[in-house]
């Protein structure tokens, strides 16, 4: 039952397959991974200090997100779930925009068209249908762009996701389905979700599925780049299963110690996505120590920025709830908006 698992960089930092990344690109991946982890750890700490209502940690999944996020072209579009903080970073979003959502001070977050990055989907799997619809639209308009939608292993049990697979196959939509298989759908382990590799499901819908070491940023980038190129050239959808592990809780309201063997996390810590790239760079890049020091300083500045911004996020104007929904606001909603405005 074996689809092969693509890997370029092993957990011990040894290259097990050829790659064509430049030294500058390898450094760029290292910088992204470090800064993405800092965004996540800073937001987690802010939530624990009562500054955020909730946070969905991505610890351990950075390579899956950075590798795929950096494969995107400017005109590609992303439909994320609620955990793709590193992909948002790759699309140019200030992480403060993410904090505003989880602090409850934003009624939307950002303009998706500006960043090619939709607002997070909280309903599990719903974004996969949105992505396919967008992709079909690209085809009808004759555009050669692609769409990526992110979801976890649990979403593959949702009807929406399977309907999205069917529609994407039927219309040959330019969509890359990117599943971060982190082994748990909240508390439900992978073996309760599927008896075959997730990527293998794609064959039943009529398009290819591939598996990749989700903690190997180089392999993830290569696999995603190939799937995106295929989509843009009219080759249709691909399902990527990035095999990774959720090192922390599902969200900050979750306690994984109630349903997980702690030794699992210890084993996966040895496959840390940052560590393996660091080992490679320490061995092959003579100037890495100096560069790494610069990245650490940048991470400290980013952490300070997030702490300062979070405490100063303004409360939203509730009247903004009525904006950006209708092209022409119906009279009854105009009346409701004016009533809300009268409260202030």
Q: Exactly one of 70, 103, 246, 271 is catalytic; which is it?
A: 246
Query: In angstroms, rounded to a whole number, what is the distance separating the alpha carbons of residues 111 and 326?
Result: 16
Task: Label the pairing between strands 184-185 and 5-6.
Answer: unpaired
Q: How many CA atoms lie within 13 A of 331 on its CB side?
A: 0
49 is catalytic: no
Catalytic entry in 83, 211, 250, 276: 250
**112 vs 23: CA distance, rounded Å:** 32
259 among known catalytic residues: yes
117 is catalytic: no
Question: Active-site residue among 259, 283, 324, 341?
Answer: 259
Do the Cβ atoms of 211 and 227 come closer than 8 Å? no
Please identify every residue annotated as catalytic: 246, 250, 259
């Amino acid at each position: 039952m074996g689809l092969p698992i693509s890997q370029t960089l092993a957990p011990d930092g040894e290259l097990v397959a050829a790659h064509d990344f430049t030294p500058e690109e390898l450094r760029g991946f290292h910088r992204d991974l470090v800064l993405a982890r800092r965004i996540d750890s800073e937001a987690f700490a802010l939530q624990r200090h009562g500054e955020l209502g909730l946070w969905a940690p991505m610890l351990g999944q950075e390579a899956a997100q950075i590798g795929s996020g950096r494969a995107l072209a400017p005109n590609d579009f992303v439909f994320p779930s609620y955990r793709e903080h590193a992909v948002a970073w790759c699309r140019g979003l200030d992480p403060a925009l993410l904090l505003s959502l989880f602090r409850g001070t934003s009624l939307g977050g950002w303009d998706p068209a500006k960043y090619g990055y939709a607002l997070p989907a909280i309903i599990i799997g719903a974004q996969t249908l949105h992505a396919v619809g967008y992709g079909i639209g690209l085809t009808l308009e004759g555009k050669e762009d692609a769409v990526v939608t992110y979801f976890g292993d649990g979403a593959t049990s949702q009807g929406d996701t399977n309907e999205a697979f069917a529609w994407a196959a039927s219309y040959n939509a330019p969509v890359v389905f990117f599943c971060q298989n982190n082994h748990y759908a909240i508390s439900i382990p992978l073996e309760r979700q599927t008896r075959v590799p997730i990527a293998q499901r794609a064959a039943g819908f009529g398009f290819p599925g591939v598996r990749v070491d989700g903690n190997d940023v180089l392999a993830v980038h290569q696999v995603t780049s190939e799937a995106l190129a295929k989509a843009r050239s009219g080759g249709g959808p691909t399902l990527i299963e990035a095999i990774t592990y959720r090192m922390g809780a599902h969200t900050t309201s979750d306690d994984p110690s109630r349903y997980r063997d702690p030794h699992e996390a210890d084993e996966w810590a040895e496959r840390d996505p940052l560590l393996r790239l660091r080992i490679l760079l320490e061995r092959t890049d003579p100037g890495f120590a100096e560069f790494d020091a610069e990245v650490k300083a940048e991470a400290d500045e980013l952490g300070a920025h997030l702490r300062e911004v979070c405490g100063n996020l303004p409360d939203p104007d509730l009247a903004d709830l009525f904006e950006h929904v209708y092209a022409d606001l119906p009279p009854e909603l105009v009346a409701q908006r004016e009533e809300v405005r009268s409260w202030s």
